[in-house]
Amino acid sequence: MKRIEVVAAIIHHEGKILATQRGYGDFKDGWEFPGGKVEPGETPQEAIVREIREELEVTIRPERLVTTVECDYPKFHLTMHCFLASVAEGSITLLEHEAAKWLGKDELDTVAWLPADVEAVQKLKPLLEEARGS
Ligand SMILES: Nc1nc2c([nH]c(=O)n2[C@H]2C[C@H](O)[C@@H](COP(=O)(O)OP(=O)(O)OP(=O)(O)O)O2)c(=O)[nH]1
């Protein structure tokens, strides 16, 4: 089966995290963490900084790897590295997504996450307590 390697940013601010809604493609309207495919020669950290500049027009600081999710979709196998991150510079502008929401710990289940994200969201809950106020 085709395999793709993706990086995703869990951007946090004041105890909330940013969820974005896909604006195009097979998963249009699903909620995800912004990010995209790692290109040849890039480290995952370089890829996530590049993708977030392309999608949200900000520079992020990747802080730590929260989890790597493995998920079988009908057309490919996905490996997705999810990094906790904060905005280092700029203000968020949606260049590709159709919507975005800041979600607190108790709001994480209020959007329809893509299948691969459900497990990452569960792992995130205890971390959000730590991140509160930062
Ligand atoms: N960015 C992102 N992609 C996710 C998440 N969950 C999930 O299943 N995916 C899937 C959807 C896509 O099939 C794939 C990411 O591909 P993408 O289309 O965003 O990659 P890309 O930005 O490099 O885009 P492209 O130029 O190939 O369209 O991973 C998530 O939380 N964030």
Query: 17-71, pLDDT tens digit by residue?
Result: 999 999 999 999 999 999 999 999 999 999 999 999 999 999 999 999 999 999 9
HSE-CB of 23 using CA atoms within 13 angstroms = 10
Pocket test for ligand 1, best of 17, 20, 22, 37 (most atoms within 8 A of CB): 37
Residue 35's Cβ-count burial label (10 Å; 0-12, 13-18, 19+) is buried
Q: Is 44 a pocket residue for ligand 1 (Cβ < 6 Å)?
A: no
Q: Is 85 a pocket residue for ligand 1 (Cβ < 6 Å)?
A: no
Q: Is 49 a pocket residue for ligand 1 (Cβ < 6 Å)?
A: no
CATH number of residue 69's parent domain? 3.90.79.10
Ligand 1 atom nearest 96 alpha carbon: 22
93: CB partners within 8 A, 6+ apart: 56, 57, 58
Q: Is 55 a pocket residue for ligand 1 (Cβ < 6 Å)?
A: no
Q: Indicate if the pLDDT at residue 131 is higher than 70.
A: no
Mean of pLDDT over the chain:
95
Name the more confident of 13 and 133. Answer: 13
Radius of gyration of the CA atoms of the chain, in A:
14
Ligand 1 atom nearest 54 alpha carbon: 22
Q: What percent of the chain has pLDDT over 70?
A: 96
Q: Is 31 a pocket residue for ligand 1 (Cβ < 6 Å)?
A: no
| Total count of domains within the chain | 1
pLDDT for position 129: 74
ipTM: 0.92
List, for residues 85-117, the tens digit of each pLDDT value: 999 999 999 999 999 999 999 999 999 999 999
Q: Indicate if the pLDDT at residue 130 is higher than 90.
A: no
pLDDT for position 55: 98
Give the SS3 label for residue 53.
helix
pLDDT for position 128: 82
Structural domain for 68, as ranges? 3-131
Q: Which two structure tokens, joined as six digits, stand for 82?
A: 């999810």
